[in-house]
Amino acid sequence: MAEPGGSGAGAGEEETPASVPGQTQSSSGRVLTPEERDRLGCDRVLVSEFRQMKLEKEAQKNWDLFYKRNSTNFFKDRHWTTREFEELRACREQNPLYCPERCCAFQCDLTKDDLREKVPEGGVDVVTLIFVLSAIHPDKMTLALQNISRVLKPGGVVLFRDYGLYDHTMLRFKAGSKLGDNFYVRQDGTRSYFFSRELLAELFEGAGLHLAANDYVLRETVNKKEGLCVPRVFVQSKFTKPDRSQSS
């Protein structure tokens, strides 16, 4: 349901499933080297409050420009999603073709717009949040998740994948890019948060959703041209909305 776009955007990352060789799922995450830990410990200076307010105000514009620049040379089909999430595979098997009369595409800001204006309350079986939440300001993440929870059916599920703590992209930010704990700004003005499993569970549970699965996905990306092998860390999770009729 929710895909990168507008101020609720993700970075459009395209990743292969956790079952591929060289990629594992773990509850413990990535262990930093002493050099990496020292570098992160020294990066304590935050972007000025004035610039942070400007970045928040211009968030949608910066993401719109990002997608305009990368409209044809960045995104790939996410074939791995149906391999990773059986809920999506089941949806595809039950509904092999989308019926235009049953589809309603719309753009919204999850932190401001009430989804119930477009989607019936409690009317959605499955929500995907794939590289979306990381682009939202941490102060507004709970609002976005509460918005989603309202339209999710009791027993429905949120399928989540996003940047994990100590991902390579987090470690390569230069000094002057830090907005807060685990929150950074790129050169183009787009922002990214890096999640721990614990914080993610806390956020979703605060929105009334229950934890079903929550792991780090660890893999290595090889850049043959530059001869680099970099560690990637993502968080892949499932959260469900309690079915109170069954629990009573």
pLDDT digit string (tens) for 81-94? 777 787 877 776 66
- Residue 24, SS3? strand
Report the 3 state secondary structure along 43-84. Answer: CCCCCCHHHHHHHHHCHHHHHHHHHHHCCCCCCCCCCHHHHH
Amino acid letter for position 202: E
**CATH topology assigned to domain 30-70+78-241:** Rossmann fold (3.40.50)
Amino acid letter for position 124: V
Look up the pTM and report it.
0.83
- Domain boundaries, given as residue ranges, for the chain: 30-70+78-241
> Which residues, 6 or more positions from 216, have their beta carbon under 8 angstroms from its beta carbon?
25, 26, 27, 28, 29, 30, 164, 197, 233, 234, 235, 236
Walk along the chain (248 residues) and give the pLDDT tens digit of each residue.
Answer: 444 443 333 344 444 444 555 678 888 889 899 999 998 988 889 999 999 999 999 999 999 999 888 876 666 666 677 777 878 777 766 666 556 667 788 888 999 999 999 999 999 999 999 999 999 999 999 999 999 999 999 999 999 999 999 999 999 999 999 999 999 999 999 999 999 999 999 999 999 999 999 999 998 887 777 778 888 999 999 999 998 765 54
